[in-house]
């Protein structure tokens, strides 16, 4: 029952000095440019446990075209990557959704705003991200529907990262949410 709808996102994030090199490499590999998006993510915390501690996330994502998606992310289960189970639904009304979450005592904790160019290469999705207040990142991602396949998929993601000139010491295991929360707490007087 539980696994029926499970999808595991196998993903490695790199903090990069800039995006010129990777864009050339993607071109050389004949990766397909899919789209440019602007995404605003609003993260909520649970009233009964601290998602920062349980490593879960509840996110409302607003895409540039106005599409609204509610996502629950389970704890990271991979090693070097940030594999999680994801459950998502598309919702027709942002304001009502936010108000429902507030009434159910979920508290907004942070907003992450990013512009991203999305590429496809073989089984992988590559995100070239500029995150407001955080800087430049690249995420390399694939999806598997079986927990057993995570390690193999992570290795493939890392090998593609190598090919794209992404240094392994650039790997950032923290989520954008964690990085934004860190930054916010450092900026407090």
- Looking at the annotation, which residues are catalytic? 43
CB of 183 to its own copies, least distance (A): 27
Q: How far is the CB of 97 from its own copies (least distance, A)?
A: 5
Name the residue nearer to its own copies (CB basis): 71 or 151: 71
Shortest Cβ 22–its own copies spacing (Å): 33
Nearer to its own copies, 51 or 176 (CB): 51
- The contacts of residue 182 (CB under 8 Å, 6+ apart) are 174
Q: Considering all CA atoms of the chain, what is the largest pairwise distance in Å, rounded to the nearest integer?
A: 50
For 154, the token pair is: 């992570």
DSSP strands (E only) in the chain: 8-15, 32-45, 57-63, 68-73, 84-91, 107-121, 124-131, 135-144
Residue 173's alpha-carbon distances to 11, 26, 139, 145, in angstroms, are 10, 23, 11, 22
Contact between residue 147 and residue 84 where contact means Cβ atoms under 8 Å apart: no
Q: Tell me whether residue 71 or residue 136 sits nearer to its own copies (CB atom).
A: 71
Q: Which is nearer to its own copies, 36 or 49 (CB)?
A: 49
Which parts of this chain interact with its own copies (CB under 8 A)? 2, 4-5, 46-48, 56, 58, 70, 72, 74, 87-93, 95-97, 99-100, 103-106
Q: Are 10 and 150 in contact, with CB atoms under 8 Å apart?
A: yes
Helix residue ranges, H only, 55-116? 94-103
DSSP 171: B
**Minimum CB distance to its own copies, residue 125 (Å):** 20
């Amino acid at each position: 029952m539980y696994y029926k709808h499970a999808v595991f996102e196998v993903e490695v994030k790199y903090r990069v000095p800039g995006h010129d090199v990777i864009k050339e490499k993607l071109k050389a590999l004949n990766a397909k440019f899919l789209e440019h998006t602007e995404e605003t993510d609003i993260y909520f915390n649970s009233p009964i446990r601290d998602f920062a501690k349980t490593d879960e996330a509840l996110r409302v994502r607003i895409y540039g075209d106005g599409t609204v998606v509610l996502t629950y992310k389970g704890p990271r289960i991979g090693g070097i990557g940030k594999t999680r189970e994801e459950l998502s639904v598309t919702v027709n009304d942002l304001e009502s959704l936010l108000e429902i979450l507030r009434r159910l005592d979920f508290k907004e904790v942070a907003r992450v705003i990013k512009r991203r160019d999305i590429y496809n290469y073989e089984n992988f999705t590559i995100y070239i991200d500029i995150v407001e207040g955080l800087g430049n990142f690249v995420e390399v991602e694939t999806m598997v529907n079986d927990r057993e396949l995570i390690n193999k998929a992570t290795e493939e993601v890392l090998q593609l990262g190598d090919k794209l000139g992404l240094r392994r010491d650039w790997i950032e295991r923290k989520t954008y949410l964690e990085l934004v929360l860190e930054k916010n707490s450092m900026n407090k007087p």
